[in-house]
């Protein structure tokens, strides 16, 4: 027995080689006929075929009625159809042709040069070829392609069994449905009582009553529809009115919110203004206007240095501007406090300020320049007193008079028993003593020379006394300031 590769048969489902059993290879002619001519026909008594389909089936022409030569018929295998009972002659011709085919295959073909010459091999090849023809015939008669292996056969059996079960369930369902219909028909035909005329009249009356109720309900339905339309219109007007009220209320709330914001803003501005006003009230405008300090040996007023020496030279226009600020400070205090100076008049004019002095001997006013220029003067050689020196001495005298006036006013405000006439020594205590042309022992005269260290220190002391004078008169200056 040869292997599966030599036989050439494969499973038509999984395409794996098959090993043919020896019983299939040794089939007799009768066994072959039994396999080829097996019947899977249905029983007409078990099926209800529509008449139109039976009529169409009867019109089918059988192979025996065809004018085909016998030689051609011997080369083909005709498949059986469902009408083999009605045409036995076609069945017999098909069996004869199949038997003839098998006989021709068994009778022996021409020997092939490629095949082995032994009679056993030739007989096996002939049997396998005949078995393949059997499988072809079986495949043509069923929906299964033969041959199949054992595994595929098991799977096929399971699938067919599942289809059979489903078909059985469907058949049972239809059977039950048909039985129910037949029972209903029987019940309806047997239980239909006769309707009397009285019942007909009652039904008519009931129908009329129901019809009237229907008309009444339709009328009520129309009234309800009209009422619904009216209510919807009222609801729409009410919603519109509520929306308008809400809009107005929102506008009022918004205006009130903006007003409250504006009020808070004004309150904040008012508080800020009051705070600034309090700060301004506490600020002494005169102290802010005339800032007196010192930088080493220099006295400084509003950032202007007064003095100079060899190592540090200060230009005269800065010195003149500083002295002009001093004259302006004294003139402001006198004007605000209404201090009347004896024999002196202050004329602040910036860097070109002057002081006028009344001369008792001549009964005339002399003007002294509180500024100096760098022009050469003959008095510088002979150390002759200049108008600038007289102006500096006049400043010392004016400060002394103002100090005496402030001390008198303080004494007058404290007690009314003291005499208004007091000496210089009775004035307010200034830091540095001033006598004639000297302050704390330093002369304020230059005699036309350049500023030196002594004069610079004297100017520093002068500014210090002026600052003290401003401090003593600050409260009165604030009170006398115009609102």
CB 329 within 8 A of CB 335: no
Contacts of 418 (CB under 8 A, 6+ apart): 411, 412
Q: 383 falls in which pLDDT band (50, 70, 90)?
A: low
On the question of pLDDT at 135 being above 60, the answer is yes
Q: What are phi and psi of 352, to 5 degrees?
A: -125, 45
**Cβ count near 320 (within 10 Å):** 21
**DSSP line for 57-68:** HHTSPPGGGS--
* Rounded Cα distance, 356 and 391, in Å: 9
Q: 242 falls in which pLDDT band (50, 70, 90)?
A: very high
Q: What strands lie across the sheet with 354-359, from one edge to the other?
A: 344-347, 354-359, 364-369
Nearest to 303, CA basis, from 325, 285, 282? 325
Mean of the pLDDT values across residues 431-456?
88
**Which pLDDT does position 108 carry in this prediction?**
41
CB 106 within 8 A of CB 126: yes
* Rounded Cα distance, 366 and 372, in Å: 17
- Arithmetic mean of pLDDT over the chain: 77
Pick the range with the lowest mean pLDDT from 82-86, 149-153, 431-435: 82-86
Residue with the bigger pLDDT between 313 and 417: it is 313
**DSSP line for 274-299:** HHHHHHHHHS-HHHHHS-EEEETTEE
* Rounded Cα distance, 411 and 433, in Å: 21
**Which pLDDT does position 83 carry in this prediction?**
39
* Rounded Cα distance, 398 and 430, in Å: 13
**Cβ count near 330 (within 10 Å):** 24
Q: 8 falls in which pLDDT band (50, 70, 90)?
A: low
Which residues sit opposite 483 in a β-bridge?
Answer: none
CB 386 within 8 A of CB 374: no
Query: What single DSSP character describes residue 451?
Result: -
pTM over the 0.75 mark: no
Orientation of helix 119-141 relative to helix 29-36, angle to 10°? 20
On the question of pLDDT at 260 being above 70, the answer is yes
Dihedral angle of Cα 9, 12, 15, 19, to the nearest 10 degrees: -40
Nearest to 444, CA basis, from 463, 462, 430? 462
**Percent of the chain beyond pLDDT 70?**
73
Nearest to 20, CA basis, from 149, 142, 155, 138? 149
On the question of pLDDT at 296 being above 80, the answer is yes
The string of pLDDT tens digits covering residues 145-201 is: 778 888 888 888 898 899 999 999 999 999 999 988 888 888 776 655 555 788 888
**DSSP line for 288-348:** HHS-EEEETTEEEETTEEE---SSS---HHHHHHHHHHHHHHHHHHHHHHTPPPSSEEEE-
On the question of pLDDT at 3 being above 60, the answer is no
CB 74 within 8 A of CB 100: yes
Q: How many residues does the chain have?
A: 483
Tokens coding 400: 């002394």
């Amino acid at each position: 027995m040869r292997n599966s590769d030599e036989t050439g048969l494969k499973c038509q489902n999984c395409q794996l080689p098959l090993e043919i059993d020896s019983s299939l290879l040794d089939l007799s002619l009768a066994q072959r006929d039994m396999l080829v001519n097996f019947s899977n026909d249905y029983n007409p008594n078990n099926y209800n075929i529509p008449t139109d389909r039976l009529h169409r089936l009867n019109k089918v022409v059988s192979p025996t009625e065809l004018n085909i030569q016998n030689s051609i018929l011997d080369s083909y295998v005709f498949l059986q159809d469902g009408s083999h009972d009605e045409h036995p002659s076609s069945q017999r011709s098909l069996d004869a042709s199949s038997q003839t085919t098998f006989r021709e295959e068994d009778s022996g073909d021409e020997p092939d040069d490629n095949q082995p010459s032994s009679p056993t091999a030739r007989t096996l090849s002939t049997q396998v070829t005949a078995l393949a023809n059997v499988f072809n015939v079986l495949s043509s008669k069923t929906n299964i392609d033969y041959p199949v292996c054992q595994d595929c056969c098991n799977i096929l059996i399971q699938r067919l069994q599942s289809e059979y079960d489903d078909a059985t369930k469907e058949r049972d369902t239809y059977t039950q449905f048909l039985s129910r219909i037949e029972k209903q028909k029987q019940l309806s035909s047997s239980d239909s009582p006769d309707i009397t005329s009285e019942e007909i009249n009652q039904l008519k009356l009931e129908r009329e009553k129901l019809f009237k109720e229907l008309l009444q309900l339709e009328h009520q339905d129309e009234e309800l529809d009209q009422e619904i339309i009216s209510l919807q219109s009222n609801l729409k007007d009410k919603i519109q009115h509520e929306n308008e009220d809400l809009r107005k209320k929102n506008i009022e709330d918004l205006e009130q919110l903006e007003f409250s914001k504006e009020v808070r803003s004004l309150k904040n501005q008012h508080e800020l203004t009051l705070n600034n006003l309090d700060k301004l009230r506490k600020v002494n405008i005169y102290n802010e206007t005339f800032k007196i300090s010192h930088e080493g040996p220099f006295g400084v007023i509003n950032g202007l240095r007064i003095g100079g020496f060899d190592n540090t030279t200060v230009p005269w226009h800065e010195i003149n501007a500083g002295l002009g600020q001093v004259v302006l400070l004294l003139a402001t205090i006198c004007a605000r406090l209404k201090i009347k100076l004896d024999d002196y008049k202050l004329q602040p004019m910036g860097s070109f300020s002057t002081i006028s002095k009344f001369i008792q001997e001549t009964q005339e006013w002399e003007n002294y320049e509180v500024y100096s220029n760098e022009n050469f003067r003959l008095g510088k050689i002979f150390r002759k007193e200049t108008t600038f020196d007289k102006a500096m001495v006049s400043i010392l005298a004016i400060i002394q008079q103002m100090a005496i006036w402030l001390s008198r006013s303080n004494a007058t405000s404290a007690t009314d028993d003291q005499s208004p006439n007091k000496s210089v020594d009775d004035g307010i205590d200034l830091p540095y003593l001033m006598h004639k042309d000297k302050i704390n022992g330093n002369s304020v005269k230059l005699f036309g020379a350049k500023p030196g260290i002594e004069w610079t220190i004297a100017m520093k002391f002068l500014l210090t006394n002026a600052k003290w004078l401003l401090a003593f008169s600050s409260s009165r200056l604030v009170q006398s300031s115009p609102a």
